[in-house]
Amino acid sequence: MSDIEQRFELAVAVAREAGAVARQIYEQPARTRTSKGPQDYILESDAQVERVIRERVLAAFPDDSFFGEEGGGEFGRDVWVVDPIDGTSNFARGVPHFCTSIAFVRDQQIEIGVIYEPILDELYVARRGAGATRNAQPIKVSGIASMREAIVEAGWSMRRPTEAYVDLVDQLYRAGAQVRRAGSGTLGLAYVADGRSDAYCELHINSWDALAGLLLIKEAGGWTNDFLANDGLRRGNVVLGCTPALKDIMAGAVGLNIR
Ligand code: IPD
Ligand code: CA
């Protein structure tokens, strides 16, 4: 078994374990919630779940680096990039739409992406060059080629001006799309890979939210922007993942130059 396959097996086991911890906390009546700032939740549960992942990964691969949304870390040549609970505001408010996201990046290439949604018990996995699956069944992006038939998710955060988001959504509606925002960028990307929607875009997203989902989309036959350009790993970036036929019109809407 190659060292990537070993890491892949670990990522799958750890995502399931972390998701089970998240679900157990979610089902308890009181969720301890404080705020990092307006519209930015921080939960003790995120840190708790991240500790589970960090300990298991570094016990197995002590020379790898690890970066988690809650605890930070380093970005070395071999790095695990983790969001313990993406969809934190959903989690905090009792909406069952959140997940654990684990990506492994080697030399600026996303090698492994694993996303686990513990409420529906849906496990999405991808390995570079080896396809993408949900609960072991191969997945592929939809065949939608027209915005008039498309379901598009437009993620939002306070990291970009509200006017820019409103402008983006305005363009998407005018092009004929049905626009959504479900509160987990990671699941938004996984759903594109799975053909449940046709595009996910956001004017800025962090690497821990996006990397696993981006690999899923590529391995499921979709198109993504070059998220890791301009140090996207550390700084985050604009993100777009969609069916190949929608890439030009979607890139235009998010202001991406793909020529
Ligand atoms: C956020 C969610 C949201 C996306 C934001 C993320 P969090 O992460 O993925 O859908 O639009 O960019 O920051 O706070 O739920 O972990
Ligand atoms: Ca997140």
DSSP assignment of 93-145: HT-S--EEEEEEEETTEEEEEEEEETTTTEEEEEETTS-EEETTEE-------
Read off the pLDDT band of 28 (50, 70, 90): confident
Does residue 32 carry a pLDDT above 80?
no
- Reduced to 3 states (helix: H, G, I; strand: E, B; else coil), residue 55 is helix
Does residue 87 carry a pLDDT above 90?
yes
Read off the pLDDT band of 259 (50, 70, 90): confident
Q: How far apart are the first and last CA of the chain?
A: 39
Domain 3-138, what architecture?
Answer: 2-Layer Sandwich (3.30)
Q: Give the type of residue at 60.
A: A
pLDDT at 33: 52
- pLDDT per residue as tens digits for the range 210-230: 999 999 999 999 999 999 999
Residue of 86, 191, 201 best suited for mutating to test ligand 1, as the one with most atoms within 8 Å of CB: 86
Choosing among 2.60.40.10, 3.40.1190.20, 3.40.50.12780, 3.40.190.80, the CATH entry for 147-254 is: 3.40.190.80
Read off the pLDDT band of 38 (50, 70, 90): low
pLDDT at 94: 93
Mean pLDDT of 1-26: 97
- Beta-sheet pairing, 122-127 with 99-106: unpaired
pLDDT at 216: 99
Which percentage of the chain shows pLDDT scores above 90? 92
Mean pLDDT of 225-243: 98
Can you read off the two tokens belonging to residue 73? 């870390």
- Which ligand 1 atom is the nearest neighbour of the CA of 205? 12
- pLDDT per residue as tens digits for the range 146-168: 999 999 999 999 999 999 999 99
pLDDT at 45: 87
Mean pLDDT of 32-54: 75
CA of 207 to the centre of ligand 1 (A): 11
Does residue 37 carry a pLDDT above 90?
no
Residues with CB under 6 A from ligand 1: 83, 86-89, 155-157, 183-186, 202, 205, 209
Query: Are 192 and 198 contacting, i.e. CB atoms less than 8 angstroms apart?
Result: yes
Query: Are 198 and 246 contacting, i.e. CB atoms less than 8 angstroms apart?
Result: yes
Domain coordinates in residue numbering, the chain? 3-138, 147-254
Helices (H), the chain: 3-26, 44-60, 88-93, 162-174, 185-193, 207-219, 232-235, 247-254
Report d(CA 26, CA 206) in Å as an integer.
24
Does residue 39 carry a pLDDT above 70?
no
Read off the pLDDT band of 30 (50, 70, 90): low
Mean pLDDT in the chain? Answer: 95
CA of 154 to the centre of ligand 1 (A): 11
pLDDT at 42: 60
pTM: 0.95
Mean pLDDT of 176-194: 98
Residue of 26, 209, 211, 227 best suited for mutating to test ligand 1, as the one with most atoms within 8 Å of CB: 209
27: CB partners within 8 A, 6+ apart: none
